[in-house]
């Protein structure tokens, strides 16, 4: 059942010209990326230094595979979360803003999913090194469920009853 009330963020936007709407969507996406890019780059950078620490030799083979997964996901996440900037530069002044927003929103979602996987593996790795594999598996499981609920299920639940508006760029 559709919610009949206007969305609070729609007030005054009915008269917004399409080019202004696209600019606003692009700026909102860039702001989201600014928040995530620094964090994922710091995470990846810290993970890159771990093998050069003296205690890394004490990590067992399974923990090394978890570590390599975390590094891989963090690296791919960083690449995807930086990609919209590269897309913008490559498509600058070609009047492809709507396509740019759609593709950038998609790769941002992929980047966030890989960031969640990387953080889940980091949690599992840290707990397994400090408290053993059982704690690592529990920690990784809890982190995975937490990311799934908070980053996916809550937003989907909030959006129920609010269909996508016509004329809005699709993610």
- The token pair at 73 is 């996901």
The rounded distance, in Å, linking the Cα atoms of 123 and 4 is: 43
Tens digit of each residue's pLDDT (9 = 90 or more) over 68-91: 999 999 999 999 999 999 988 888
**Residue 171 burial by Cβ neighbours in a 10 Å radius (0-12, 13-18, 19+):** middle
Range of weakest confidence among 5-9, 21-25, 159-163: 5-9
The rounded distance, in Å, linking the Cα atoms of 40 and 167 is: 32
Tens digit of each residue's pLDDT (9 = 90 or more) over 99-115: 888 999 999 999 999 99
Q: How far is CA 111 from CA 2, 6, 41, 50, 104, in A?
A: 31, 31, 12, 22, 10
Question: String of b and e for 15-39 (b: at least 16 CB within 10 Å)?
Answer: eeeeeebbeebbeebeeebeebbee
- pTM of this structure: 0.82
- pLDDT on residue 161: 72
Domain spans in the chain, listed from the N-terminal domain onward: 18-159
Tens digit of each residue's pLDDT (9 = 90 or more) over 39-70: 999 999 999 999 999 999 999 999 999 999 99
| Residues in Cβ contact with 105 at an 8 Å cutoff, skipping those fewer than 6 apart | 29, 169, 171
The rounded distance, in Å, linking the Cα atoms of 85 and 107 is: 11
Binned at pLDDT 50, 70 and 90, residue 169 comes out as: low
> Residues 7-23: what's their mean pLDDT?
70
Is the CB of residue 87 less than 8 Å from the CB of residue 12? no
Binned at pLDDT 50, 70 and 90, residue 160 comes out as: confident
């Amino acid at each position: 059942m559709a919610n009949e009330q206007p969305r609070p963020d729609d007030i005054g936007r009915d008269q917004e010209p399409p080019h202004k709407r696209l600019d606003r969507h692009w700026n909102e996406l860039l702001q989201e990326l600014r928040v995530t890019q620094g964090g994922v780059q710091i995470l990846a950078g810290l993970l890159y230094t771990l093998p050069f620490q003296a205690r890394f030799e004490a990590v067992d083979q399974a923990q090394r595979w978890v570590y390599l997964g975390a590094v891989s996901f963090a690296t791919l996440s960083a690449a995807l979360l930086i990609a919209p900037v590269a897309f913008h530069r490559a498509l600058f002044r070609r009047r492809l803003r709507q396509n740019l927003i759609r593709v950038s929103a998609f790769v941002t979602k992929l980047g966030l999913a890989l960031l969640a996987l990387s953080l889940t593996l980091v949690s599992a790795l840290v707990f397994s090194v400090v408290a053993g594999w059982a704690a690592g598996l529990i920690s990784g499981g809890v982190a995975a469920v937490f990311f799934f609920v908070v980053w996916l299920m809550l937003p989907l639940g909030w959006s129920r009853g609010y269909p996508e508006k016509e004329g809005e760029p699709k993610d």
